Amino acid sequence: MSLNSKSKSYSFLTKPLAILLGFVTLATVLAGCIPAPPPGSSSSPSGYLDVVTGGNGNVRVEGWASDWDTLDPIQVVFVINGEWISGGFNANKPRTDVGQVFGRGNNFGFDETFEVAAGPVTVCAGAINVGPGEPTFLGCGTSQVSDRVTVEGESPTPPTTVPPPTTTIPAEPTWRTVANHGDNAPGVTATFNSYNQPAVNSSGLVAFRARTKGEGARGVYSKNPVTSPNTLNVVADVKGGLKSFVPAPNTQLAEFNEFPSVPRIGRTSNMIATRGQSVPVLSYTPEGGVETKVGTSGIYATVNGTLTSGATLLGAVPGYDQFAVPGVTPATKFDQFPGSPAVDGSTVVFKGNYAVGDTSQTGVFFRNVAVP
């Protein structure tokens, strides 16, 4: 069975398994009705299916889609009456209304016509992601298709032209509040009263350090004010908080007691990195020595939403060579991590102090925290 898009013929995706597997993720998106994010708020594509118009034996589908990670046109895919249409379709048609609002160019529209049987028709559309992010659901529309009436030598009557509406492009508010003195710190009834410099990524996710009065709640928090729900989340907080325990290695159930530097976030990822202080996280006995408790500082980063130890003071402890100063023999621990780490993707970059013999050293170090 096939559907025709203008002069091209496309087969339903139910036959070629290889193509089907390539669209499993997008199928999940459409099935779950996960909407496209507000334009410019995410690395995932934005857009809308604006109009579905039935004609004589065919249906016309119009809308727009764009991925804010690129200025190039992206591809969209369609499901008609529950059946996939194989292949991607370029969203590269002129949409001056989109260009006027967002200033990224005009050629992000799609306008496709498919031959279908007479009767009710439902068309759903999805956008293929480019770079970071996920494929997204652009919406569904319904119409009525009449029997195709043709005279020999004539082409099928095309659907009636309906100009795409421009009301599907939302106006962006000028200001949004991430957190202020009216917000409770998560997990407590006390409101915030102090903040440090925030960091933000290309999707609008904000990371910041904040505290309540006195010795109350304090920690590193995140929030994306341009998505819904825009919940205030805890990245890490101090003893007694919702996420106060230092991530592994931590055999002492040690909890954070301070975050001395402002957190950072990746430009194109949601990974947040922060410096954290705690009581010792590990107890061990060096060969011929006495029991020693170590590990009171580190660089910690969220990997797929889970806080992970990126750098610690455990480099001289047997079995923890991954935290040793690189290029130094024998295994040497860091002494401290002054300032804030930098982060992008799954990589953290930080300043580290250490000593070789009686000589103090310092340097800048790079680590992919997604790799153990």
Residue pLDDT, tens place only, 202-220: 778 899 999 999 878 999 9
> Cα–Cα distances in Å, from 177 out to 40, 42, 77, 245, 271?
18, 18, 36, 29, 22
The residues spanned by each domain of the chain are 2-145, 192-368
pLDDT at 157 over 60: no
pLDDT tops 70 at residue 33: no
Is the predicted pLDDT of residue 141 greater than 80, yes or no?
A: yes
**Token representation of residue 193:** 């009263």
Express each pLDDT in 261-284 by its tens digit: 999 998 878 899 999 999 999 999
Nearest to 81 by CA among 144, 163, 148: 144
Per residue in 238-263, pLDDT (tens digit) is 988 899 999 999 999 999 999 999 99
Average pLDDT for 45-58: 91
Paired tokens of 81: 């009456």
Q: Which long-range contacts (CB under 8 A, 24 or more apart) does 307-312 make?
A: 307/235, 307/236, 307/243, 307/247, 308/247, 308/369, 309/246, 309/247, 309/248, 309/249, 310/273, 310/341, 310/348, 310/350, 310/367, 310/369, 311/337, 311/348, 311/350, 311/352, 311/365, 311/367, 312/249, 312/281
pLDDT greater than 50 at residue 10: no
Task: Tell me what pLDDT residue 287 has.
Answer: 81
Entry pTM: 0.57
Q: How many CA atoms lie within 13 A of 42 on its CB side?
A: 20
CATH class of 2-145: mainly beta
Distance CA 243, CA 53 (A): 52
Q: What is the DSSP letter of 251?
A: T
- The Cα–Cα gap between 58 and 161 comes to 13
Q: Is the pLDDT of residue 6 over 70?
A: no
pLDDT value of residue 275:
97
